[in-house]
Amino acid sequence: MSQARADVAILGGGPGGYEAALVAAQLGAQVTVVEADGLGGACVLTDCVPSKTLIATSETMGILSGSAGLGIRIEGYDGRRRPRPAPGTTASPAAGPVTVDAPRLNGRVKALAVAQSADVGARLAAEGVEVISGRGRLADAHTVAVADRAITADVVLLATGGLPRQLPGAEPDGERILNWRQLYDLAELPEELVVVGSGVTGAEFASAYQALGSQVTLISSRDRVLPREDPDAAMVVEDVFRRRGMTVLSRSRADGVKREGNGIAVTLSDGRTVRGTHCLLTVGVVPATQHLGLDDAGVIVDDRGFVTVDKVSRTSAPGVYAAGDCTGVMMLASVAAMQGRVAMWHALGEAVQPLRLSHVAATIFTEPEIATVGVSQAAVDSGQVEAAAVKLPLATNARAKMQGFRDGFVKLFARPRSGTVVGGVVVAPRASELILAISLAVEQMLTVDQIAHTFAVYPSLSGSLTEAARRLMRPVEGAPDR
């Protein structure tokens, strides 16, 4: 199909959709993107970009809260935590005289999202991609209906994303009971924020708002926060949460949330009630696959409504592909984008490598960040993967000491005989940047010996990566044991 001009129709303008559109246009296809809410989709407009912008501000507040320990004096602040501010104010107890201007913060968050969306639009326009504003559906496997228009396509890509899951008895009202897409319209910082759900989204927002000055209560139905993540990493983050004044309620399940005067009350399954000024619900994502005409096109979904795809993003309907959160495959923007690219490379006749989820790097933007790639501690512990491991605490790293970082570690997994790096975990400030070195090692099948012989800057946090590799180096065959 790459030899002849193809028509490609894409439902959804998020990372899965717009990255697919760019690849298809590059390969000479005539591309149409249908998007109702704005280019970039929820990722850019309401989810990933806004949340990480908010977190960027919270990181600065965290740095200020530790400034006294670095020898910096803020007038009127001695580095100790202050009593809670008076109701209605936004003073941060962590940073003393430093305060959060909530309207300005939220205004910046939304403005940056809009600007990023515009950048996506400009890029698509430059590549000749047609963008239609509206909600599309499949009339059949090769026809997309938008309002009164029918778009015929050789290839269709579904990239419609997902929606915040609702908890029965806790319906968001956009004022006091909120999902994460409604936070940026608040006129003031939540004084007492109750976060329901301790997965990635819940942990990130709990961490951010605690740093910004809210008093946060995090409700977790499991034994610990981030129950699906590396247990050592989750333990570090939970310890930091508690030490900074967050209330973490483990093994506590929320049954419902209701308005109560100027606040909220969360009812737990054991009969307890948790009160606050605001409640943030982070209880998962459901696929946005309703009313898309999937049955008409022969597209199969699973029992939760996610579109079923193979490793090159094909659905059950010939010529129809899917990418992103609507597939339920590792709900990350990077994965959605790669699914979209793989779909177009495959559909338009290019050589393509199936998606390898074991090589996906992921980051949780708490403070400190958690970044992972490759095999997990659970896989090693269960015997599913044979690997040697080493874990180095960040507190022993010279650069970390200089910057006042004491929470975190670097963990590396390698094959015991060959020394091939098969995974790793980094818990540190900017772990999202440090993980790239381990990702490259996993992708290119590098050995710990190769990493150990690579120069790292001294002092640097990345120096802990090469030190971990040195500790996993295999002794030279025939050399005496020491």
Query: Could you tell me the pTM of the whole model?
Result: 0.92
Residues 142-198: tens digit of each pLDDT: 999 999 899 999 999 999 999 999 999 999 999 999 999 999 999 999 999 999 999
Which pair of tokens denotes residue 170?
A: 């806790």
Give the helix/strand (H/E) hosting 219.
strand 215-219
Task: Give the pLDDT score at 62.
Answer: 87
The residue with greater pLDDT, 204 or 475, is 204
Own/partner long-range contacts of 306-310 (Cβ < 8 Å, ≥24 apart) = 307/158, 309/339, 310/354
Q: Is 70 exceeded by the pLDDT of residue 331?
A: yes
Is 204:364 a contact under the CB 8 Å cutoff? yes
Question: Over 50: is that where the pLDDT of 86 sits?
Answer: no
Relative to beta strand 149-152, strand 143-146 is antiparallel
Note the pLDDT tens digit of each residue in 25-61.
Answer: 999 999 999 999 999 999 999 999 999 999 999 999 9
Q: How far is CA 459 from CA 59, 317, 456, 463, in A?
A: 22, 55, 8, 7
Output the pLDDT for position 94: 45
Q: Which CA distances in Å does 241 have to 201, 221, 238, 449?
A: 15, 17, 5, 37
Spatial distance between the Cα atoms of 124 and 118, rounded to a whole number of angstroms: 10
**CA 114, 117, 122, 125 torsion: positive or negative?**
negative
Which pLDDT does position 139 carry in this prediction? Answer: 96
- The per-residue DSSP string of 226-267 comes to STTS-HHHHHHHHHHHHHTT-EEETT--EEEEEEETTEEEEE
Q: How far apart are CA 182 and CA 27, in angstroms?
A: 39
Which residue from 332, 54, 362 is spatially nearest to 180, judged by alpha carbons?
A: 54
pLDDT band at 64 (very low <50, low <70, confident <90, very high): confident
Distance CA 22, CA 128 (A): 9
Residue 90 — pLDDT band, cuts 50, 70, 90?
very low
The confidence score (pLDDT) of residue 478 equals: 46
Enter the tokens of residue 403: 């910057």
Q: Are 443 and 359 in contact (CB under 8 A)?
A: yes
Average pLDDT, the chain: 93
pLDDT for res 69:
84
Torsions phi, psi for 453 (to 5 deg): -90, 10
Residue-level pLDDT at 6 = 79
| Mode of pairing for the β-strands spanning 215-219 and 273-276 | unpaired
Of the pLDDT bands very low, low, confident and very high (cuts 50, 70, 90), residue 65 is: confident
pLDDT digits (tens, 9 = 90+) for 199-240: 999 999 999 999 999 999 999 999 999 999 999 999 999 999
**pLDDT (0 to 100) of residue 116:** 98
**Per-residue model confidence (pLDDT) at position 258:** 97
**Residue 385: how many CA atoms within 13 Å on its side-chain side?**
18
**Angstrom distance (rounded) from CA 426 to CA 445:** 19
In this prediction, residue 474 carries a pLDDT of 73
Strand 320-322 with 177-179, pairing: unpaired
For residue range 241-268, what is the model confidence (pLDDT) as tens digits? 999 999 999 999 999 999 999 999 999 9
Sheet holding 263-268, edge to edge: 254-260, 263-268, 273-276
> Can you state the angle between helices 231-243 and 200-212, rounded to 10 degrees?
30
Phi-psi region of 238 (alpha: psi -120 to 50; beta: other; left: phi over 0): alpha
With pLDDT > 90 as the criterion, what percentage of the chain qualifies?
Answer: 88
Which residue type sits at 76? Answer: G
Which residue matches tokens 């120069």?
455
- At 479, the pLDDT band (50, 70, 90 cuts) reads very low
Q: Which two three-digit tokens encode residue 209?
A: 């708002």
Residue 274, H or E segment: strand 273-276
Give the pLDDT confidence score for residue 99 in this predicted structure: 84
First vs last C-alpha separation in the chain: 61
With a cut of 60, say whether residue 96 has pLDDT above it: no
